[in-house]
A and B are shown apart, each in its own frame.
Chain A
């Protein structure tokens, strides 16, 4: 990814497009995890990439790039969610329904046709763990600094927390998920 970033910074659009291909799935899930509907999430992801063009010359490492993209996506998603909430006439509950939110592991444990065991196990973890694992699933090589920016957790807590979440999920699955293959 370092080489792609370097080339993209120098103005090579094919490299930039490759970065878009690689990182858009993560950004999509970051936006969705903030409670935005699908259309708003798409808008937010697009806005993030367009905004990047202005800042790319200041971004020196792939880790900084991912961190920057994730933070901008998150901030923009909050902005959009705040605005949607402010526009919602009276009832807050109505807003939730309107939003076509991303399903939670608890929802998916009962509604999904596949991976029920995995969803049921995830549903037993804290929301924090669910969020960490969702982010890592899309980019296992996220560094502590990036995860810290993504989750608003002190950098020093990330390592232990990440480890705990993985260990708990493994214990809950007891290898069951691997048999599914």
Chain B
């Protein structure tokens, strides 16, 4: 198909070196492939994919630990989560759905699944979530929404 000028050995060697040089200069994060694998694992393709649109790290009064807040956007639903460090390599996740409503909420872990549901104010929480990759799933009336995978640490 590429008839004009096929690569010769020198071209290929040059491109190989270029790849090595770019990989050294601006490497993809080492955990990116694993994060994508995790995110794809239980996603079927029928869910709506939410986007993380805003993230803040708020310093907490004592120590160096901080609370992160992330806002995820869907077409008809917004989820805001706040992730606070908790004892023993775990975190607490508090979430708010807008518009508020009672929905089943799941938190996929590398090693299991936590379930809860939002109250009629749209609030939900997960206690003592072990560090690692997690992905939030909201089972709304007609659609299932998933967030990208994120790392708790």
Contacts and interface: CB of A to CB of B under 8 A. Distances in A.
B21 A83 contact: no
B2 A46 contact: no
B23 A115 contact: no
Contacts of B39: 46, 49-50
B33 A53 contact: no
B45 A118 contact: no
Classify the secondary structure of A's interface with B.
helix
A94 B32 CA distance: 28
A133 interface: yes
Contact of B32 (A45, A134, A170): A45
Q: How many interface residues does chain A have, given as a range?
A: 35 or more
Given A138-B19, A140-B12, A32 B4 contact: no
User: Interface range on chain B: under 10, 10 to 19, 20 to 34, or 35 or more?
Assistant: 35 or more
B13 interface: yes
B21 A28 contact: no
B43 A53 contact: yes
B25 A20 contact: no
Contacts of B2: 143-144, 159
Interface of A: 13, 16-17, 20-21, 24-25, 28-29, 32, 38, 42-43, 45-47, 49-51, 53-54, 56, 83, 102-103, 108, 112, 114-115, 118-119, 122, 133-134, 136-138, 140, 143-144, 159-160, 162-163, 166, 169-170, 173, 177-178, 180
